[in-house]
Amino acid sequence: MSVPILLYIILFFYVPIWGWLMAFQNYKPALDFWKQKWVGLQQFRFLFEDDTFIQTIRNTIGMSLINLVLGFSTAIILALLLNEIRVSFLKRTIQTVSYLPHFLSWVIAAGIVATSLSVDDGIVNILLMKLGLIHEPIMWLSEGKYFWGIVGASNVWKEVGWNTIIYLAAITSIDPSLYEAASMDGANRYQKMRYVTLPGIKATFIILLIINIGHILDAGFEVQYLLGNGLVVDWSQTIDIFVLKYGIALGNYSLATAAGMFKTVVSVILVVIANSIAKRLGEERLL
């Protein structure tokens, strides 16, 4: 049964690696691959001497860290709260409503976010003005200082329910006798969450953290591309958008390959480092 999965991984993840050779060429589509001009590390030097790419790395890391922190904290908090709901119908309803946005494409989700943040009739501006927190509408999508927060909040809204599922599954595997022992010791519900539930899902949290650290240079593409505009390009452009704009769109496939190769190599290094740190601390690890 695992053979189709292995074939899929080999075909789509390992076979294309030979294409990394383009990063060391001045690749021209019209020429045979082995007749291309080899330029060594020229593409990589160009990347790291380009201020736009350095700015892109800053944006990618910034948004990734925001997504990482908000994604983990909100998913764990929601899982803990859902676990404390005793009415099963209410629990299932909240869980279903929370993970429904996951099934929306980012095209639809970004449209909802943009409409909610619009200056004229956006619900966010209307609500903030009704509460007296602002005196005039804010142009949320026209100022770069708001963009990272908008991306983080959008990701939380879209994925928090889905991310909660794995923590709820981990909670169900905790031995019920631990809760019974805590009750006999006089622990209240908050103390049970702190001393029983959280330690019980610690291993799951560590494994997911290690995996997500490997995606620190993968802040996303769709939401930044759809919500971004010329006014916030200095804050919205990620490595994936850079590859599309300055690599694929301009036919500079060697530059695009070099940027993608940089992402992959750094991601592997980060996973290995995070895994090693977890091992030294005696925590769960991937390897």
For 143-153, how does the pLDDT look when each residue is reduced to its tens digit (9 = 90+)? Answer: 999 999 999 99
Q: How confident is the model at residue 44 (pLDDT cuts 50, 70, 90)?
A: very high
Mean pLDDT of 21-38: 87
10 Å CB burial of residue 25 (0-12, 13-18, 19+) is buried
Q: Note the pLDDT of residue 149.
A: 94
pLDDT at 19 over 90: no
CA–CA distance, 24 with 20 (Å, rounded to integer): 8
Q: Note the pLDDT of residue 60.
A: 94
Q: How confident is the model at residue 116 (pLDDT cuts 50, 70, 90)?
A: very high
Least confident of 94-98, 177-181, 185-189, 281-285: 281-285
Q: Are 78 and 72 in contact (CB under 8 A)?
A: no
Q: How confident is the model at residue 262 (pLDDT cuts 50, 70, 90)?
A: very high
CA–CA distance, 137 with 125 (Å, rounded to integer): 5
Q: Note the pLDDT of residue 17.
A: 87
Q: Note the pLDDT of residue 117.
A: 93
Burial 73-102 (b: 16+ CB within 10 A, else e): ebbbebbbebbeeeeeeebeebbeebbebe
CA–CA distance, 153 with 70 (Å, rounded to integer): 8
The average confidence (pLDDT) of the chain is 90
Predicted model pTM: 0.88
CATH superfamily of 40-280: MetI-like (1.10.3720.10)
Q: Residue holding tokens 């922190």?
A: 69
Dig out the tokens for 202 from the structure: 């610690």
Q: Where are the domains of the chain?
A: 40-280
Mind listing the pLDDT tens digit for each residue in 193-227? 989 999 999 989 999 999 899 889 888 899 999 99
Dig out the tokens for 177 from the structure: 């006798």
Close Cβ partners of 15 (under 8 Å, ≥ 6 residues apart): none
Mean pLDDT of 260-281: 90
Q: Note the pLDDT of residue 31.
A: 83
Q: Are 219 and 152 in contact (CB under 8 A)?
A: no
CA–CA distance, 283 with 280 (Å, rounded to integer): 8
Q: How confident is the model at residue 34 (pLDDT cuts 50, 70, 90)?
A: confident
Q: How confident is the model at residue 282 (pLDDT cuts 50, 70, 90)?
A: confident
Q: Note the pLDDT of residue 30.
A: 79
Q: Are 271 and 214 in contact (CB under 8 A)?
A: yes
CA–CA distance, 166 with 195 (Å, rounded to integer): 20
Terminal CA-CA length for the chain? 24
